[in-house]
């Protein structure tokens, strides 16, 4: 697909192809994507109902990218995210109940409620951390890749960033350093065309972020970020190569967030470009989950009733975990200073 | 039998690096100018040759990336030391230090942490002017979650560096090039590793006339002033060593002295405004009984201006020792 088609939801899309993916990989991809969507929708409702006190940045519409990558990542890799990172943790297998509790500020949360939606960690699945300072974790991922190189491990670091983060200076320092020192860090740009309310055409002279990979002599690939099967099929070999040859790679995946920048609204009334027509076209013509379901059916992996039944079970399970999270206790006041330093007063 | 060697402050820093690079495979160093004699004085000479350029990494001019890469490596289990040859340069790394390193443990309830060491060098004077001379320790001391240490003695230059690297919290270790030629006799073998959460201030002098609290180069300026001052009025000269956080135990050491002398002078080779000197005075008073409140208090600091270039102005700007002596004589 050409660049314009990747960004334009009204343009024709590639016919889905399974490539060399095995049936169980397709099923797993679908499960991960549904897991992300149902959790995010549950959080959107919770926020709208006022049960979640702080802002949430949701990934519905963008599920394919972390799901495809996470098939080939393991818990000894070091993955970093940003403000929109529920999907990154969930794709790695992060615990749904603990994520709900964290977003709700409860003691069973991933960080006992100290972080909240915008500061997530789950080292048990390789997710080192996400923070909402745009681009702040990109150089941290470079540091983790440096650690892996010094320890002579075959692990990689993964840095999820957005098109907006590419506007931060430190990202360019990071690309330069990773290339110069040949560090195994995978830069994953989820290019959803918007930074908050600003369309990319209002912010940058080019639409594709891969031009910065070229500038730093880093190999890159540009994807339709809503085509999970294609990304999984190609990224498997790229990630394996990174493990063997210890070098960086730059992946750009064009996608679109169905919710607005923050919380549950559509955000079609802010900024200049985002419209109901554009939003609907992405939902109806480029839904990444619908596309993987078409593939499951056409490849005779699952039929539509089996897909519907699986999704129904998953949704019920997630709703039960949400109810359980609502019942979890909040942290008590005596714990306020417990983690400022290793030995806290 | 103990084997004593005479080491300068700069030698002590270099020996601390050697000790850690020899004994801990997780330690590595990165920063600007580490393969050059220009940037870090003689405090790291030939470490790259002894330990290899993989573990002693001279970096591109990317202070922000370099600091964050060290933080990221520490999150992944290494014990990196990132070196900034001027404190002025590391302002580019403010997000990494303030938002990331200082908060990483807290945000994640200790499940992930960033025990990085950031070595920052103060290099004042020499007509370098406003952006190669600053002492910005107070900026960092304001932030919960990161430790700030400032060694004065060659022993501390060694011990506090080793302690910083072995501390489970992020630490900013600040050394001052105006101290590099001080020297001490000390034994390098089997030195105990200090715990930064337990260290307390050192007494450089003892006396009843006044309590003088300082750190790093300020201690040396104070010591010289006190040497020139009346020997019949000896003072307590207290070297803070750690400027953030300062434990209540450390504050009580200072208060005990103040209760005795009723005069508190804080000498800081940095600006007064919202600085360490203000902090020390406030903390002393918060812990004193009202009956002790009639205490004479003074801050001796740099003028509230950027460092000038012209030598005629520079000699006025750096008049800490003289200013302190003048104050003592009128006390």
For B311, other C-beta atoms within 10 Å of its C-beta total 11
CB contact under 8 A, B65 and A146: no
Residues from chain B that touch A151, judged by Cβ atoms under 8 A, are 77-78
pLDDT of residue A345: 52
Residues 65 to 84 of A: which have CB under 8 A from any B CB? 78, 80
Residue B305 pLDDT greater than 90, yes or no: yes
Place of tokens 């016919």: A15
pLDDT > 70 in chain B, percent: 99
Q: Under a CB-based contact definition with an 8 Å cutoff, are residues B113 and B104 in contact?
A: yes
Which residue does chain A place closest to B79, by CA atoms? A147
- What are the pLDDT digits (tens) for B165-192? 999 999 999 999 999 999 999 999 999 9
Q: Which two tokens stand for residue A110?
A: 């991933």
Q: Under a CB-based contact definition with an 8 Å cutoff, are residues B201 and B249 in contact?
A: no
Which residue does chain B place closest to A121, by CA atoms? B108
- Provide the Cα torsion A325, A326, A328, A334; round to 10°: 120
Residue B318 pLDDT greater than 80, yes or no: yes
CB contact under 8 A, A136 and B106: no
Q: Under a CB-based contact definition with an 8 Å cutoff, are residues A340 and B108 in contact?
A: no
Residue A283 has phi, psi (to 5 degrees) of -70, -45
CB contact under 8 A, A144 and B72: yes
State pTM to two decimals: 0.97
pLDDT of residue A175: 98
> Which of A265, A259, A241, A170 lies closest to B92 in space, CA to CA?
A170
CB contact under 8 A, A114 and B100: no
Predicted-assembly ipTM surpassing the 0.85 threshold: yes
pLDDT band at B231 (very low <50, low <70, confident <90, very high): confident
pLDDT of residue A269: 80
pLDDT of residue A273: 81
pLDDT of residue A33: 98
d(CA B294, CA A24): 79
CA angle A37, A302, A284 (to 5 degrees): 45
d(CA A103, CA A120): 9
d(CA B15, CA B23): 12
With an 8 Å Cβ cutoff, is A336 touching chain B? no
Residue B163 pLDDT greater than 90, yes or no: yes
Q: What is the pLDDT along chain A (345 residues), one digit of tens a residue?
A: 788 899 999 999 888 889 999 999 999 999 999 999 999 999 999 999 999 999 999 999 999 999 999 999 999 999 999 999 999 999 999 999 999 999 999 999 999 999 999 999 999 999 999 999 999 999 999 999 999 999 999 999 999 999 999 999 999 999 999 999 999 999 999 999 999 999 999 999 999 999 999 999 999 999 999 999 999 999 999 999 999 999 999 999 999 999 999 999 988 887 778 899 999 999 999 999 999 999 999 999 999 999 999 999 999 999 999 999 999 999 999 999 999 999 875
Q: Under a CB-based contact definition with an 8 Å cutoff, are residues B56 and B108 in contact?
A: no
d(CA A169, CA B64): 9
d(CA B200, CA B183): 22
> Which of B15, B237, B110, B97 lies closest to A123 in space, CA to CA?
B110
CB contact under 8 A, B109 and A115: yes
- Nearest Cα of chain B lies from the Cα of A265 at a distance, in angstroms, of 27
């Amino acid at each position: 697909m050409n660049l314009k088609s990747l960004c334009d939801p009204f343009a024709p899309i590639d016919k889905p192809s399974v490539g060399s993916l095995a049936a169980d990989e397709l099923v797993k991809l679908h499960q991960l994507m549904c897991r992300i969507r149902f959790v995010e929708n549950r959080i959107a409702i919770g926020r709208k109902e006022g049960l979640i006190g702080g802002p949430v940045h949701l990934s519905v519409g963008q599920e394919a990218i972390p799901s495809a990558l996470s098939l080939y990542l393991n818990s000894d890799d070091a993955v970093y995210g940003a403000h929109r990172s529920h999907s990154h943790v969930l794709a790695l297998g992060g615990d749904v109940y603990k994520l709900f509790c964290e977003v709700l500020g409860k003691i069973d949360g991933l960080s006992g409620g100290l972080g909240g939606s915008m500061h997530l960690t789950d080292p048990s699945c390789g997710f080192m951390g996400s923070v909402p300072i745009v681009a702040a974790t990109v150089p941290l991922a470079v540091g983790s890749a440096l650690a892996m190189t010094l320890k002579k491990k075959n692990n990689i670091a993964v840095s999820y960033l957005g098109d907006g983060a590419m506007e931060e200076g430190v990202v360019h320092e990071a690309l330069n350093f990773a290339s110069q020192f040949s560090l195994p860090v995978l830069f994953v740009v989820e290019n959803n065309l918007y930074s908050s309310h600003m369309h990319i055409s209002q912010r940058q002279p080019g639409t594709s972020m891969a031009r910065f990979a070229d500038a730093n002599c880093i190999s890159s690939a540009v994807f339709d970020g809503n085509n999970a099967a294609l990304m999984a099929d190609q990224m498997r070999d790229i990630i394996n190569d990174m493990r063997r040859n210890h070098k960086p790679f730059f992946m750009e995946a064009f996608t679109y967030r169905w919710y607005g920048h923050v919380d549950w609204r559509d955000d079609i009334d802010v900024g200049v470009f985002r419209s109901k027509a554009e939003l609907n076209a992405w939902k109806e013509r480029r839904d990444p989950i619908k596309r993987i379901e078409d593939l499951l059916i056409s490849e005779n992996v699952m039929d539509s009733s089996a897909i519907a039944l699986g999704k129904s079970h998953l949704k019920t399970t997630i709703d039960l975990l949400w109810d359980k999270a609502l019942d979890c206790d909040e942290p008590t006041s005596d714990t306020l200073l417990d983690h400022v330093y290793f030995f806290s007063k | 039998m103990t084997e004593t060697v005479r080491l300068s402050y700069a030698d002590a820093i270099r020996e601390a690096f050697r000790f850690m690079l020899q004994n801990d495979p997780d330690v590595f160093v990165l920063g600007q100018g580490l393969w050059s004699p220009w940037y870090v004085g003689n405090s790291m000479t030939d470490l790259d040759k002894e330990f290899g350029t993989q573990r002693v990494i001279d970096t591109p001019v990317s202070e922000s990336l370099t600091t964050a890469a060290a933080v990221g490596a520490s999150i992944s289990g290494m014990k990196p030391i990132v070196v900034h040859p001027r404190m002025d340069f590391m302002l580019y790394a403010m997000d990494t230090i303030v938002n990331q390193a200082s908060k990483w443990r807290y945000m994640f309830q200790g499940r992930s942490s960033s025990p990085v060491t950031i070595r920052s060098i103060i290099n004042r004077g020499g007509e370098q002017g406003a952006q190669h001379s600053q002492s910005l320790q107070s900026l960092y001391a304001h932030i919960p979650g990161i430790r700030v240490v400032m060694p004065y003695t060659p022993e501390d230059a060694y011990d506090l560096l080793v302690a910083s690297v072995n501390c489970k919290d992020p630490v900013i270790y600040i050394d001052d090039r105006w101290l590099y030629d001080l020297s001490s006799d000390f034994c390098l073998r089997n030195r105990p590793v200090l715990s930064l959460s337990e260290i307390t201030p050192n007494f450089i002098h003892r006396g009843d006339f006044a309590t003088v609290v300082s750190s790093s180069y300020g201690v040396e300026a104070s010591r010289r002033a006190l040497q020139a001052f009346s020997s019949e009025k000896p003072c307590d000269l207290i070297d803070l060593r750690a400027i953030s956080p300062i434990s209540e135990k450390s504050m009580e050491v200072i208060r005990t002295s103040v209760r005795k002398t009723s005069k508190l002078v804080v000498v800081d080779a940095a600006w007064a405004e919202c600085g360490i000197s203000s902090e020390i005075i406030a903390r002393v008073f918060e812990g004193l009984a009202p009956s002790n409140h009639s205490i004479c208090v003074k801050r001796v600091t740099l003028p509230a201006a950027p460092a000038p270039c012209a030598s005629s102005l520079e000699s006025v700007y750096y008049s800490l020792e003289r200013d302190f002596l003048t104050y003592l004589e009128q006390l």
